[in-house]
Amino acid sequence: MELDDKLKAELIATAQSLKGSERRMFMARTVKMLGPGGQRLAERELGWNRATIRKGMRELERGVICLDGTRLRGRKPVEARLPNLLHDLRDLIETWRSAHPECRNDARAPCMSVEEVRRALIEQKGYSDSDLPSPQTIAARLRALGYRPRRSIRYLRRRRLRQ
């Protein structure tokens, strides 16, 4: 069977508008209508993945819908939500270091505490408290940038009380 350009464009647009099992079922029905060699024709002419088509064929034949693993893909890093965060962290730390001579020479010298960094991000860079990640995430990003966050005052107080 030969596919004209108008039909190809319509099939591709319809498949792109659908998601998950609905998309696979549509692809499988289309391939069945194309007849023998339909999978290869759909792959070549429509750009559809044959593994996806086969999965849709199984769903169509058996009547069982395969669940997608979209929930298993994990959480996106904070940089995806806040693209300027690393730049703003580096800017804050370097500004702070230039004002404090004890940290200028040694790149590994303890810099600001995570609480101070968080407060400065809110006050100077315009972030809201709900937008910012947890203090542990901020500390991890500071360490990844090569800075060593200073111990918080609460941590030091707790440590003194234990001794």
Reply yes or no on whether the pLDDT at 119 is more than 60.
Answer: yes
Q: Residue for token digits 């910012």? A: 132
DSSP character for 109?
A: S
Q: pLDDT confidence of 149, banded at 50, 70, 90?
A: confident
Q: Are 54 and 39 spatial neighbours (Cβ–Cβ below 8 Å)?
A: yes
Query: What's the pLDDT score for residue 52?
Result: 94
Mean pLDDT over 136-160 rounds to 75
Instruction: Name residue 17's amino acid.
Output: S
Top pLDDT among 39 and 70 is at: 39
Task: Tell me the C-alpha distance between 80 and 83, whole Å.
Answer: 6
Q: Number of helices (H) and strands (E), helices first, in the chain?
A: 9, 2
- Angle (nearest 5°) at CA 67 between 81 and 63: 150
